[in-house]
């Protein structure tokens, strides 16, 4: 399945992510990875398996998330989510 979400809100963040050189998260939607990381960070979650999360993502060849690292995207999303968590607690 391919991701059909319009990740308009986070295109600037996507443009700054590294390219997935090694292909370990090949074709997975980096924007969905960012959103999933953010959701977990903002909820203060710290018990999860990144491999399983990225494996479960939809694929994407669209917009600025094309070929971007879903691992870096997840980490950036988690970081932003944790910051948001601190700002609201």
- Site residues (vs Zn ion, CB under 5 A): 3, 5, 29, 31-32
Report the nearest approach of Zn ion to the CB of residue 82 (Å): 21
Q: Which is nearer to Zn ion, 5 or 75 (CB)?
A: 5
Q: List the Cα angle 69/26/46 in 5-degree steps.
A: 55
Report the nearest approach of Zn ion to the CB of residue 48 (Å): 18
Task: Please report, for residues 1, 2, 24, 87, the alpha-carbon distance to residue 76 in angstroms, rounded to integers and kept in the order given.
Answer: 24, 22, 17, 17
Report the nearest approach of Zn ion to the CB of residue 87 (Å): 25
Q: Which is nearer to Zn ion, 12 or 47 (CB)?
A: 12
Place of tokens 């669209």: 62
Q: Which is nearer to Zn ion, 44 or 61 (CB)?
A: 61
Residue pair 41/84 in contact (Cβ under 8 Å)? The answer is yes
Report the nearest approach of Zn ion to the CB of residue 34 (Å): 9
CA distance 15 to 87: 25
Q: Which is nearer to Zn ion, 10 or 82 (CB)?
A: 10
């Amino acid at each position: 399945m391919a991701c059909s979400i319009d990740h308009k809100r986070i295109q600037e963040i996507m443009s700054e992510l590294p390219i997935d050189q090694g292909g370990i998260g090949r074709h997975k939607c980096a924007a969905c990875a960012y959103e999933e990381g953010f959701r977990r960070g903002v909820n203060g979650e710290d018990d999860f398996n990144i491999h399983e999360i990225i494996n479960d993502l939809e694929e994407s060849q669209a917009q600025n998330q094309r070929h971007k690292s879903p691992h870096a995207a997840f980490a950036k999303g988690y970081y932003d989510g944790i910051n948001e968590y601190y700002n609201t607690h």
